[in-house]
Chains A and B, each alone.
Chain A
């Protein structure tokens, strides 16, 4: 991956965190009573199952991606090392 793409990705990630931080609830000016029906509806607005699924899936995907890139980097560097070592041996060093 090119260096400027990496810098862009890191900057994007930082921006995302900053945006998420801005998404905090606004300051409360008044108290509004909530009926039991509204309370149930409010709780159901955030489905726990999809959040749990998202958390597990993200962990799996990130590790799969990282392992893949790590393995590929090792493969590339080691194959390059073998080529350069062969060149050195030919030169008799």
Chain B
């Protein structure tokens, strides 16, 4: 077993322990003045969104490497990252509306950030469907989709500055008081460790799947 695969259980245990402790760490944060208790969804929602964008960047870079250099490992990483973008994206789009229902009074609004996030989720969903049902050669087309999916990341991040939206601006997180910053960074680290563990396992699955396909072809020959 490669060393990086041996690291996965350790990462899972550390992130699991941190996530178990997270409600208690979040409980130390003060209530936000206008939103009150419901603002605590932010401590889970924000790391989900950031990891979704991280996954999109990893997928885009790996897709570009695969497109230009045809490195097989880059393709494995791109598939794994696309799946991470979909999983973290679903959770971003579930925790967001739960927060919005109380603070905005609606589950969903088609503002710039939410709409662009939803579009990016659709792009990576399409990537996975393309890989699953696209047949031979779909990995090249999917790599182009993954690369363009990554292009949405700066658009999503700066959408709150470029358009009028209900979402808080990009200055909120850097200006957080320490009492709110510590729980946020604690959760962010925990979810990022989980992201790395899941991503490594998914890359391992893709590598094994390709080896299995080759082994079957060798048996048939």
With contact pairs A20-B108, A48-B102, A55-B95 given, residues A62 and B87 touching in the complex (Cβ less than 8 Å): yes
A81 touches B94 (CB 8 A): no
Contact of A88 (CB < 8 Å), options: B97, B118, B132, B218: B218
CA gap between A84 and B101 in the complex, in Å: 52
Interface check A28, CB cutoff 8 A: no
CA gap between A63 and B1 in the complex, in Å: 24
With contact pairs A48-B102, A55-B98, A59-B91 given, residues A84 and B216 touching in the complex (Cβ less than 8 Å): yes
> Chain A contacts of B132 at CB under 8 A?
3, 6
CA gap between A80 and B214 in the complex, in Å: 12
> Chain B contacts of A49 at CB under 8 A?
37
Contact of A48 (CB < 8 Å), options: B37, B45, B216, B218: B37
CA gap between A19 and B45 in the complex, in Å: 22
Nearest Cβ in chain A — how far from B33, in angstroms? 14
Binds A, one of B63-71, B163-171, B177-185, B197-205: B197-205
With contact pairs A3-B132, A81-B208 given, residues A71 and B99 touching in the complex (Cβ less than 8 Å): no
> Chain A contacts of B208 at CB under 8 A?
74, 77-78, 81
A-B pair number, CB within 8 angstroms: 102
B107 touches A23 (CB 8 A): yes
Contact of B212 (CB < 8 Å), options: A55, A59, A77, A93: A77
User: Quick one: CB contact mask for A48-90 with B, threshold 8 Å, 1 for yes?
Assistant: 1101101110111011001100110110011011001101100
A88 touches B219 (CB 8 A): yes
CA gap between A70 and B204 in the complex, in Å: 10
> Chain A contacts of B99 at CB under 8 A?
51, 55
Can you list 14 pairs linking A and B with CB atoms under 8 Å apart?
Answer: A17-B118, A20-B108, A23-B107, A55-B94, A55-B98, A58-B98, A62-B94, A63-B194, A70-B205, A85-B215, A88-B215, A88-B218, A91-B219, A93-B218
Q: Which positions in A face B, CB cutoff 8 Å? A: 3, 6-7, 10, 13, 17, 20-21, 23-25, 46, 48-49, 51-52, 54-56, 58-60, 62-63, 66-67, 70-71, 73-74, 77-78, 80-81, 84-85, 87-88, 91, 93
With A51-B101, A52-B98 given, can you name 16 additional A-B contacts, CB distance below 8 Å? A20-B107, A20-B108, A21-B110, A23-B106, A51-B38, A51-B41, A52-B37, A59-B44, A59-B95, A62-B91, A66-B87, A67-B198, A74-B201, A78-B208, A80-B212, A84-B219
